[in-house]
Amino acid sequence: MAFFNQFFPLWAILLSIAAFVFNEPFSSLETAIVPLLAGIMFMMGLTLNKEDFSRITKDPRAVIIGVLLQFILMPILALTLSGMLQLSTQLTVGMVLVGSCAGGTASNVISYLAKGDVALSISMTMTSTLVGVFATPFLCTFYLSETVSVNSLGMLISILQMVFLPVFAGMLIKHLAHPQVSKIEIFLPSLSIVFILLIIAIVVGLNSVRLLDIGVLTLAAVVLHNTLGLAGGFFVSRLCGFNIKQSQTIAIEVGMQNSGLGVALALQYFSATAALPGALFSVWHNISGSILATMWGKKRESFEYLVKDEEHLKANEEH
C-alpha cells in the first residue's frame, strides 16, 4: 500500500496519458464523478474521531491560520494569476473554483510521506471541508458574479450532498462500528487515491480535445497557483511563530486543494472548459506535493538520525 501511495503522481500521469489517448471509455463515466467524490469524503469521515476535534479546541491557532490562508490566499491568487495571464472567462472560473475549495484528502497522504504533523493535517482538512460548505459558494459568488452567473444556492446544496453528508455519514459509522472500521482503515488512503485517479482520468477524457488548445499559459497559471500557495502557507505560518514541521504541514494543506470538488462543480454549473484547471491542478499538486514530501521527509529522517546519534553518544559518555 505504501508503495502504491508513494507513486501517486506517477499513476496520475500515466492514467492521464491513457485517458487522453483513449478518451471515450473514460469520458463515458462522467456521471461517476460526483459519486466518486462523495466516496472520498465518506472515507475521510471514516478516518476522523473525537481526538481530531479535541486537538482543534486545545490549540486552534495553527488550524485557524491554515484555514484562513486557504480561503483568502488561494482564491485571490487564482483571480490575480488569471488576470495577469489573460485567461478566458471559463478558465478563470475554473481557477477561482479550485482556489475556493477546501483542502484535499491527498494532502493527508502527502503530509504523512513528508513526516509532517499528520494530526494537524487531518484537523485542517476536516475544518476547511466543513467551513468550505458555505465558504466555497460565497467566494465564487463574491469573485465571479460580475463575470458569470453563479447559482450560489444550488452550489451550496451540491456541496452539502457531495461533502458534508458523506463526511458526517462516515463519522457516524465509525462511531457506531469502530472495531469494524479500524480493520479497514489502513486501506482507506489507497482507495481514496484510486477514486482521485479515476476523477482525474474522467476529466482528462472529457477534455482530451480541449487540452491541445489550452496552451502554456493555463498550465503556467495552475503551476504558479499551487507553488505560490505552498510558499505562502509556509512563510506566513513561519512568521506566525509555528515550527518547521507545522509550517510544512500548513504549506501542504494550503497548496493542495480539493480539486475534485472544483471539477465536479465546474461540470455541474459552468462548462467542461471550466473543469480544466481543476484537472490540471489534480495532477500537478500531487507531483509537487510528492517532490516536497520526498525532500522534507528525507531531511527530517537525517535530522532525527543525527539527534538519536547524539543522544546515543551522550548516553555512552555518561556510562
pLDDT band at 318 (very low <50, low <70, confident <90, very high): low
> What pLDDT score was predicted for residue 214?
66
301 residue type, one letter: E
Q: What are phi and psi of 103, to 5 degrees?
A: -70, 145
Is the CB of residue 173 less than 8 Å from the CB of residue 185?
A: no
Is the CB of residue 62 less than 8 Å from the CB of residue 242? yes
Q: Give the tens place of pLDDT for each residue, 89-114.
A: 888 888 998 888 887 767 777 776 67
Question: Residue 191 corresponds to which cell in the numbers above?
Answer: 482507495
Residue 66 clears pLDDT 80, i.e. is over it: yes
> What are the Cα distances from residue 237, in Å, to 118, 121, 244?
16, 14, 9
Cα angle for residues 290, 183, 194 (degrees, 5° grid): 35
Per-residue pLDDT at 142: 84
Q: Partners of 257 in the beta sheet?
A: 103
The separation between CA 48 and the C-alpha centre of its own chain, rounded to angstroms, equals: 17
For residue 47, what is its C-alpha cell?
478516518
The sign of the torsion formed by the CA atoms of 48, 126, 109, 93 equals positive
For the segment 176-204, the average pLDDT, to the nearest whole number, is: 80
Question: pTM for this structure?
Answer: 0.74
The total number of residues shown for the chain amounts to: 319
Nearest to 40 by CA among 148, 155, 195, 150: 195
| Of 105-119, 244-258, 292-306, the least confident | 292-306
What share of the chain in percent tops pLDDT 90?
9
Q: What is the domain partition of the chain in residue ranges?
A: 30-185+214-293
Lowest mean pLDDT among 107-116, 174-183, 267-276: 107-116
CATH (residue range 30-185+214-293): 1.20.1530.20
As a whole number of angstroms, the distance between CA 167 and CA 165 comes to 6
Q: Within the chain, where are the H helices?
A: 2-6, 8-21, 23-27, 33-47, 50-58, 61-84, 89-99, 106-113, 118-144, 152-159, 165-176, 178-184, 188-206, 208-211, 215-239, 244-255, 259-269, 276-318
Confidence check: pLDDT of 179 > 80? yes
